[in-house]
Amino acid sequence: MPSRRGRNKQQPEHPDPIVRFATALKQTEEREKAERQRIKAEREEAARQARLAAEHAEAVRVATLELGAAIAAARAARSTGRGVPEADLAWSRAKARMIELETGERPDWGID
């Protein structure tokens, strides 16, 4: 069975105060560098999240406009009796896109 005596021993401090100071300085520098890198990574992630949110908001805005236009076209087609299947298809695609943006999943009935 291995000996447990050598575990958790710390390195003895160097007797020279200049060497101890240099070591402490290096450790502080490493900690500060790690902190700067962490902050930079957090900022980059926040910027990425903001960009994704803006892109999603724009996609929802466009999809809403397309859905409104598809609904108007379907109403017009029904009132004239012409182009109803095409208008229904356009409405179905626009509605499926809107649902996909809201829920994250395209509905089963969504037409590609």
C-alpha to C-alpha distance for 22 and 55, rounded to whole angstroms: 49
What are the tokens at 35?
Answer: 């902190």
In a domain, 56, yes or no: yes
From first to last of its 112 residues, the chain has per-residue pLDDT tens of 556 665 666 666 777 888 888 899 999 999 999 999 999 999 999 999 999 999 999 999 999 999 999 999 999 999 998 999 999 999 999 999 999 999 988 888 866 6
Amino acid (1-letter code) at residue 99: I
In a domain, 80, yes or no: yes
In a domain, 90, yes or no: yes
Q: Are 98 and 67 in contact (CB under 8 A)?
A: yes
C-alpha to C-alpha distance for 92 and 86, rounded to whole angstroms: 10
Domain count of the fold of the chain = 1
∠ Cα 46 48 49 (to 5°): 65
pTM above 0.85, yes or no: no
Give the range of the structural domain holding residue 60, as residue numbers without chain letter: 17-103
